[in-house]
Amino acid sequence: MASSKLSAYFSKFPGLKRWAYNLSGFNQYGLHKDDVLNESDPDVAEALRRLPQHLRDERTFRIVRAMQLSLQKSVLPKEEWTKFEEDKKYLQPYLREVVGERQEKEEWNKNI
Amino acid sequence: MASKTPLLRAIAQRQYAAGQAAAKPLQAAASQDAKTTVLPNKLVVASVENNSPLSRVSVFFRAGSRFESSENLGAAHFLRIVAGLATRGASHFAITRNLQQLGANLTCQVGREHIAYTLEATNDTIEPTLNFLLEIASKQAFKPWELSDAVPRLRYELAGLSAPAKAVDLLHQAAFRSGLGNSLYVAKHNIGKLSSETMQHFVNQHFTSARCAVVGVGVDQELLVPAAQSLALDSANGPAAVKPTFYANELRRDIASNSAFVAIATQGASVSNAKDAVTFALLHKVAGAGPSVKWSNGAATSPVAKAAAAAAENEVIAASAFNTSYSDAGLFGAVVAAPSNVAGKAVEAVVRSLRSLSVSDADVKRAKSQLKAQLLQETETGSGLIESIGLEAVLRGSVAPSSQVLGLIDSVSTADVAAAAKKVSSGKLAMAAVGNLSQVPYLDQLK
């Protein structure tokens, strides 16, 4: 994917990641990046199915809290916003495995 | 087109004995005796090169249901259910497709004392598939979601268990309680308890090189030994088997049925004394090990079947003697399958016949021919042969040549078999019954 070259380019500007993270605003609701992934994506859905129960419970709590805040048209106090460094990418290992399995299947099913 | 992904290249590229000849003369070997090597880490490697076009390799572990503890009851059964799922080096999909591509078959078999992973392939594809077998047998990943996805398959298998199988299973539980008495099957209430950590712990404890045997049929010993050496196993001895005690107990399970399935037994012989084990096997044939003529009830040559048929009058009934020997205990008795209204009389008649088995020279002669024929027929097929040498290798550490076993059968005298019959006539009974038990007597009502 072209993102590897793009990622290499943007890695020269470390502050840019943090700026983009804070700009997207989900951290103000106390959410992590993996909480806001598109759940209807089949890979994400399968990775979420494989999450162990305690991670699933924490994620559910964060999402419910965020929905309550959104309903009340407010956000968390600034001290409780998720910090860029503390953002836990808990779903990535499972997601990587799911994507790897799908790619393996597609390789096997190729006709060429 | 096998192994296209980098994930598997490391596995698939390992080649053993690269100089194996491309074309082997396909004549059956003169001897079916196994060549055995014991590696320094106590792993036993045995093979029979019978030049068969189909090669089989099995990895046996001394890790059957008797080694389960109260925390992991059913682990052996569940291990069999999840055999072939993701390992540390390959996903389940990759294993399946690669084995299919190579035309290989993977099966897993579990007994009270062993578990065996068997791979069969044509003799030119057995080399690349060996890697998969070793991975599957020793490097299971036990991914939690794969284990829970396997539960419906487990439930389906439990639902399909036949009542006689349940009766014999219950008999072991009645006679031995724990250890050998552990059920071969997961209890329904334990299904959720078998987590990834539990399974991994069971494997770590019992899948050690001292408890392992790698056996092959239709493969060269020179192919198997390096493969067995590459098995990265712990070399601990693992937990010892608890010496079983025989309890004269009964277990009954009422289920909705028109029939009753009853299994009764006294103490039999263990394999540790080979002559005793053979004597009881002969007694089994004398008492009646099932009909020799298809669809008959065997009453002509089997005292047990005859007694049951007489008690059942016009009803259809099946009864045969039952004998099983483990490494340190055994059971000898009978299994009866009867309609519920005549089950009581049938069970009493069968027990009376077991208690009064007459052993004549003609009976023993017939039993010897039948036993020899059964042994030779069972080891005639590749799958039978590999199971036989695998069990010997993993439970005894060596494989006896068939001439030795046949000689042992010949050496048993009528007096020995009569002595065994005397033990059966005076031994205490254990009993298990499954089905409609309204007429089935309790143990204290049987003499």
Tokens representing B135? 């991975």
- Shortest distance between the Cα of B93 and any Cα of chain A, in A, equals 8
Question: pLDDT above 70 covers what percent of chain B?
Answer: 93
Contacts of A104 in chain B (CB under 8 A): 5, 7, 91, 93-94
pLDDT of residue B192 exceeding 90:
no
Q: Which candidate in B5, B88, B149, B196 is best for mutational testing of the A interface (most A CBs within 10 A)?
A: B5
Looking at the complex, does the CB of residue B100 fall below 8 Å from at least one CB of chain A? no
Q: Is B273 helix (H, G, I), strand (E, B) or coil?
A: coil
- H or E segment to which residue B29 belongs: none
Record: contact A104-B7, CB cut-off 8 A: yes
Whether residue B10 is predicted with pLDDT greater than 90 in this model: the reply is no
Give residues with Cβ within 8 angstroms of B398, minimum separation 6. Answer: B36, B44, B392
Residue B374 CA to residue B384 CA, distance in Å, equals 11
Among B274, B268, B381, B277, smallest CA distance to B322 is for B268
Chain B residues lying within 8 Å of A103, measured CB to CB? 5
Residues of B within 8 A of A107 (CB-CB) are 4-5
pLDDT digits (tens, 9 = 90+) for B153-178: 999 999 999 999 999 999 999 999 99
The token pair at A74 is 């407010």
Whether B6 shows a pLDDT value over 70: the answer reads no
User: Chain A contacts of B97, Cβ < 8 Å?
Assistant: 108
Mutate to test the interface with B, among A55, A104, A105, A111 (most CBs of B within 10 A): A104
Q: List, as ranges, residues 127-156 from B with C-beta within 8 Å of A.
A: 143-145
Alpha-carbon distance B149 to nearest alpha carbon in chain A (angstroms): 11
Give the distance from residue B195's alpha carbon to the nearest chain A alpha carbon, in angstroms. 12
Q: Is residue B246 over pLDDT 60? A: yes
* Burial category of B73 from C-beta neighbours within 10 Å (exposed 0-12, middle 13-18, buried 19 and up): buried
Long-range contacts of B254-258 (CB under 8 A, 24+ apart): B254/B435, B254/B436, B254/B437, B255/B163, B255/B434, B255/B435, B255/B436, B256/B436, B257/B163, B257/B340, B257/B434, B257/B435, B257/B436, B258/B339, B258/B340, B258/B436
Res B293: pLDDT: 84
Query: B295 with B353: CB under 8 angstroms?
Result: no
Distance (Å) from the alpha carbon of A35 to chain B's nearest alpha carbon: 20
C-alpha angle A94-A100-A105 in degrees, rounded to nearest 5: 130
Burial of B70 (0-12, 13-18, 19+ CB in 10 A): exposed
Nearest-by-CA chain B residue for A51:
B145
Q: Does B53 touch chain A (CB under 8 A)?
A: no
Residues in B closer than 8 angstroms to A105, CB to CB, are 93
Task: Summarize the confidence of residues A85-89 as an average pLDDT.
Answer: 92
What six digits make up the tokens of B382? 């590749």
Which tokens belong to B374?
């059964």
pLDDT 10s digits, B268-316: 999 999 999 999 999 999 999 888 888 887 888 899 999 999 998 888 8
Return the pLDDT at B122: 93
Q: Taking CB atoms and an 8 Å limit, are B91 and A104 in contact across chains?
A: yes
The overall average pLDDT reported for chain A is 92
B91 shares contact with chain A (CB less than 8 Å): yes
Each residue's pLDDT tens digit, B76-94 = 999 999 999 999 999 999 9
- For tokens 């794969």, the residue is B146
The pair of structure tokens assigned to A11 is 């890695």
- How much of chain A exceeds pLDDT 70, in percent? 97
Structure tokens at B309: 């048929």
Predicted confidence at residue B298, as pLDDT, reads 81
Residue B14 phi/psi, 5-degree rounding, is -75, 130
* Contact between A49 and B93 using a beta-carbon 8 Å cutoff: no
Structure tokens at B422: 């005397």
CB B335 within 8 A of CB B167: yes
pLDDT at B230: 92
Q: How confident is the model at residue B11 (pLDDT cuts 50, 70, 90)?
A: low
Q: Please tell me which residue of chain B has the smallest CA distance to A50.
A: B145
Report the run of H or E that residue A35 belongs to, with start and end: none
pTM for this entry: 0.89
Read off the pLDDT band of A13 (50, 70, 90).
confident
